[in-house]
Amino acid sequence: MLIELLTDRYPGMRQWLTQRLSAVVMALYTVLFVLLIALYQPTNYAEWHDFFSPWWWRLATLLSWVCLMMHAWLGVRDVLKDYIFNVTVRSYLQLLVELVLIIDLTWMAFILVEMK
């Protein structure tokens, strides 16, 4: 089914679909985030800390962050494919983007783990 389309048998569809699916996850998370903020209205550090303390909420945040990173990775890859035609330069730039995104994701994971 959908997961079949994410395999390497469908190189074009995989990228396109991953971008759409990650966008859906981020959209759902954003709606939930706005609703919960409206409900709890955290104003200071302690309240923000409590806001992110439930494990399921931290897990949802991490999941949406993974989706954001994948979405950004694919988007930037698209832009690089369109504008950078030298394969070596493009590979280095892609690697740089991947490094930044992995550092960002790791940082986010540390923050969420430390919040409990």
Partner 1 sequence: MKFSIYRYNPDTDKKPYMQDYDIALEDSDQMLLDALVRIKQVDETLSLRKSCREGVCGSDAMNINGKNGLACITKLSDLDEPVVLRPMPGLPVIRDLVVDMTQFFDHYNSIKPYLENNDPPPETERLQSPEDRAKLDGLYECILCGACTTSCPSFWWNPDKFVGPAGLMQAYRFIADSRDQAEEERLENLEDPYRLYRCHNIMNCTDVCPKKLNPNAAIAAIKDLKIERAKEHKDAQPKTGKKIFGIKVL
Identify residue 13 by its one-letter amino acid code. Answer: M
> Minimum distance between the CB of residue 81 and partner 1, rounded to whole angstroms?
8
Hey, what's the torsion of the CAs at 30, 33, 37, 40, to 10 degrees? Answer: 160
Binding of partner 1 by 10 (CB under 8 A):
yes
* CA–CA gap between residue 37 and residue 67 (Å, rounded): 21
Shortest CB 2 distance to partner 1, Å: 7
Binding mask 13-52 for partner 1 (x = CB under 8 A): xxxxx-----------------------------------
Q: Residues 66-95 vs partner 1: string with x where CB under 8 A?
A: ------------x--xxx------------
Sequence-distant (6+) residues with CB within 8 A of 93 are 80, 84
